[in-house]
Structure formats: structure tokens, C-alpha cells
Structure 1
Amino acid sequence: MATSIFSRKRDLTYLIYFCIAVPMAFIVDLQPLYPQSLIPGWMQSITDFYIDTYNDLFFIGTPPPFFEFFMYTEMLIQVPVMIWGIGGLLRDSKMVPLVLLPFACLVFISTATCMYEMVHWDVPLKQRLNLMALYGPYTALPGVIGVDMFLRLKGMIESSTGGSKVGGKKNQ
């Protein structure tokens, strides 16, 4: 029987993150990919509020090509993995580390790339800092998830091999 999600604090944090991030992906992040005629008014209002509040240049005008690529990776990889991850975390699936490690690497690298781009925008410092504060947790948490999943996989490998030596050297 699976250990309760409430006793696995890190997994509970990841579950909450996924439950928030999946709807936000569809409502805000992926909206530039939708045909304008399919965007409901309430959804456009949320994006308009976001743009008015943060003046995020990725959502104003034509974004750089890498940002469009990142939106496609969010749609085709990140969202499906997060949806699977919700169930996987609830079930305490042994596959969670194997699936979430590459996911975390992708999200960390793509969000960090966006933050690096923001540093070079010709906008007031306060605007950049506000955007960094908004994007920061979406960089930090995947970084934590990545390290956690790596360590879980490392532990699984070490326990399955009994810390055996390969090629005369202990696995590291």
C-alpha cells in the first residue's frame, strides 16, 4: 500500500505545485499558441491583468524564437508530465524519480533561460525585479525537484547494487 502523500512532505509540495501549474499553463502560459477566436473573455482578462501588472515582454509583441519553443515543450512535455505526476505522487509510484528528473531539468533550464533574457531587457530595474520574483519560484522549485529526484534514483541504484564496485572502483 502506498504511503500517504501527507506523510511525504516534499511530494506533497510537488503535488500542490503541479495542481497550480497545470491550470496556469492552460490559462496563461500557453495562451499565445491558441487561435484568438478560441480564447474566452475571462481567460483574456487574466492575461491582460498579467501583462498590465508585470509588463512581461515575452507576452507583448513577438517573443524570441526560443520562447515559442519553450511554450511547445510546456504543452507537449511539461503539462503531460505534471498531469501524470499528480497521479504518480498520489500513488507513491516508484517511477516518479525517473519521470520527474528530466522534467525538472527541462523546467529549470527553460525558466532560467527566460530569467537570463530578462536581465538584458531595456526596462526599469523594478520591472525586472518584479518579473524575477515571479519567475524565481518556477526556477527554484524545479531545481529542488531535480536534486531530490537525482538523490532518490542514486539511492535506488546503490541499494539495488549493494554499493558494488564496477571496474575496480566503487560506483559514484
Structure 2
Amino acid sequence: MVILSEKLPNGVKPSPARSRRVPLSTRPMDLLYFGFFASHLFASLLLDLQWLYPASLVPKSLRALNEYYIVLSGDPLMGALAGLKHDFGMTWFKTFVTMEAFFQVPVFILGLSALWKGSKKIYPLLLIYATSSATTTLPCLIYILSLPGPTPTTTPLDHTLTFEQRLVLLSGYGPFFLVPLIMVFDFGSRLQKFVSQKPEQKLD
């Protein structure tokens, strides 16, 4: 739900009704994005970005949790970063994780604040984020789908997945593709509406 504010003459303060924040609970799509950013920020800082941290700064409990997830799911992408899977040809994924650290994490923080306040100025940045995130997650999904199943000669370092592991990974990576994809169309539509608005109307 979007509320537009009109320009007021200099010195005239907006009325309380005009400047009132629309509760997040009444904006279901923004509430979805808020929850997505909050959970993604948590996962990024505690798990995904361990590869970038000095080993001495990662608590043993978090390292153990990450390793448990990798062993359970067989995640070849996170496993390669943690040294539990072969690392060959994974430069592309390391690049994506670096982007997550230096672009996505700041967007999560800014997005959480702006969505809570109901500010529309964040829309262009969220559209850029969503486009980038959907684009970078899609190769991860394709990679997971393309991996072969285990054979009698398979080692724990090999990039293979059982049917159950593939389902677990698709259910885990899938939302990180679908939600940003929804955001692309949603914020693209919202910004298109702003483009067609009268000059005296603006983003809050």
C-alpha cells in the first residue's frame, strides 16, 4: 500500500494524518520482504560469510553448525567454501558470496529500516538488489540440479547429491530466488506508477 505526499508551501508543516506511518502489518508484501531481509541477514552474517572471516573470529559453535548443515545437505557450494568439498571451478560462487557481503548485507540493513518506516525512496535500490539476487541465485539452482548422484566410488569431497539432498537444497535455495524475483516485478510496477505520476507528487 502506498501513500503519496504532496509538496507543501515553505514553512507549512504536514498534518499528523499526512505524515503518519502506515503500519507494516497492513502492507503484506512489504511484511514479506521485511521477514525475508531479516532472515537473510541473520543467515548471511552467521553462516554464508564465514568463508570471508578470519578463522579466529568464527566461534566453534557456528563453524560446527555450518559443517553439520553441509554434511547433512551435501551442499557442494557452501561445502567448497568451507573446505569440505572440492574447490575446483568455484570462483563464480565465491564472487557471488563476496557480492553478498559488500552489497546485499548493506541493502538488507537499509531495506529493513526503510520498509519499517514505509519509505518509498528505497524502491530503486530494492529493485536493483532483487534483479541482482535473482540473477545470481539462478546459477546456483541450475548447478544443484545438474549434479550427478553418488556412485560406489564417490568420496565426501565430490560434488554429488542424493535425491533427498537435492530436495533439501532446492527448498533452501528456492526462496532466495523466488522472493527476489517477485520483488523485481513488484518494485518495477511500483516505480512505473511513480513515473506516470504528476510532478507535484514524490517519493517519501
Q: Does 1:40 align with 2:59?
A: yes
Residues 21-170 of structure 1 mapped to structure 2, 5 A cutoff: 21-60=40-79, 61=85, 62=87, 64-122=90-148, 123=160, 124-160=162-198
Count of aligned pairs between the two proteins? 161
Structure-2 residue corresponding to 1:164:
none
Larger relative contact order (Cα-Cα within 8 Å, sequence gap ≥ 6): 2
TM-score by length of 1: 0.88
* Bigger radius of gyration among the two: 2
Shift of 1:59: 2.0
Two-structure CA RMSD over aligned residues (Å): 1.4
Q: Which runs of 5+ in 2 are unaligned?
A: 1-19, 80-84, 149-159, 200-204
1:30 is paired with a residue whose SS is helix
Q: Compare the two structures and name the one with the higher helix fraction.
A: 1
- Aligned-residue offset at 1:129: 2.5
> What SS does the aligned partner of 1:159 have?
coil
Runs of 4 or more, structure 1, over 6 Å off, are none
TM-score, structure 2 normalization: 0.75
Task: State the SS of the aligned residue for 2:174.
Answer: helix
Residue 14 in structure 1 maps to residue 33 in structure 2 = yes
Identity of aligned residues (%): 28
